Amino acid sequence: MTHSAATPASPLRAVRSGPLKGTLRVPGDKSISHRALILGGMSVGETRITGLLEGDDVLRTAAAIAALGATVDRSGTGAWTVHGRGVGGLAEPEELLDLGNSGTGARLLMGAVATHPFTTFFTGDRSLCRRPMGRIAKPLEEMGARFVSRSGQRLPLAVQGTATPVPIRYRLPVASAQVKSAVLLAGLNTAGDTIVIEPEPTRDHTENMLRAFGATVDVMDGKDGRTVRLIGQPELTGQIVPVPADPSSAAFFAVAAAIVPGSDLTLTDVGINHLRAGLFETLRDMGVAIEMLNLRDLAGEPVADIRIRAGVLRGIEVPPERAPRMIDEYPVLAIAAAAAEGRTVMRGLQELRVKESDRLAAVARGLKATGIQVEELPDGLIIQGTGGALPGGGQIATESDHRIAMSFLIMGMAAKTAVTVDDDTMIATSFPGFADLARGAGADLGKPR
């Protein structure tokens, strides 16, 4: 959500904390929450979801699925039931779909409606309306849909779905789980095989969940990348979907525990899908003590309790090929790099320029404002760490980006001088209760005096 005259900015300050201790469960995985609602709406029968992330992004997707004809009910905290319409059964919405700040919800739903014979109008908040949708439009137009949009293929836009969709073989120009997922969702209501080839593996929650709901999805790795094949027009059947804790949300507290001296935190029920676990691998490479405890499987997704203890971090060169497995975690990784001994190099991050903000630029500006040496590259950052306590100070321009806000609040917990972010209202879109959870672990967060 962006602030306006009716919703003024709400600055928040993080003061140097004592050790962070205890056991936390961060909210449900955002990626899985979106997909559970969408596939529930495209299935026959009842889908019961537990642990759903109830942030604004996911609630917008729930409202959109209801507008497309599914019955969506909340029965308790994180407990939702969806009675779906079946593959090909979505109905033309009477009003435009407002996805707020949710790029994931918008892009996946564009795929879902592209192969239905009606027109759907999409909009979002100011931030989402700045984000380009061309990478989604290109393959969906090849399948027969038509997009009508503002300049730069930005929201608000209309997706004119097709009654005669054509299966495609589409090679992603850039690794993107959202584009891959949009094409696969469009392929559900398309006769024949829809094939996506990705240059590097990206998060595979869509493939896992499609199989759980009854679709046939084959994955094959080859010298040209990973090929994902969906057999169209399956009958999807409603499922029970327990949503694990979100590794992207857990990342903030993992970094906090790593850089605040004396900390010892355990994060429970965290999804550790290999294609999402890059941040934990990288922290280990930097010397962080991380234990994966109680490993188990939750509805086709591997989960664990993760124990993180503070220690001395060292700068590293993060392998660029790891980027698709941790793309959302680079802002908070930059905070860990700032506290490390030596230099950390991050490359292959062009995708961060078209997120809720230009995250590379926003991180670089924030680091400089808090006394950290950083070089901004076209596709990454080079950060010179302090080897200990961070200088801090200054006010961070969050640019309505929840990950920028949370990352620099984590910095403030380990900084000599308090760090203030200019607005914290958008954090609720992806991580409701962030500040209260942090305070419960011992962090000092409050309004600037």
Q: Which of 328, 401, 423, 424 is flagged as catalytic?
A: 328
| 289-298 and 317-318 strand pairing | unpaired
336 CB-contact burial (10 Å; exposed 0-12 / middle 13-18 / buried 19+) = buried
Closest Cα to residue 104, out of 160, 26, 38?
Answer: 38
CA distance 199 to 192: 23
Q: Torsion over CA of 384, 385, 387 and 388, rounded to 10 degrees?
A: 140
In angstroms, how far is CA 419 from the centroid of its own chain? 24
H or E, element range at 205: helix 205-213
Helix, strand, coil share of the chain (percent; to 5): 35, 30, 40
Cα-atom radius of gyration of the chain, to the nearest Å? Answer: 21
d(CA 136, CA 133) in angstroms, rounded, equals 5
Give the residue carrying structure tokens 């109830």. Answer: 54
Residue 225 main-chain phi, psi, to 5 deg: 125, -160
According to DSSP, the residues that pair with 149 across neighbouring strands are: 157
Cα angle value 211/102/378 (rounded, 5°)? 100
Question: Does 328 participate in catalysis according to the annotation?
Answer: yes
* Of 328, 325, 287, residue with least CA distance to 308: 287
Residues tagged active-site: 328
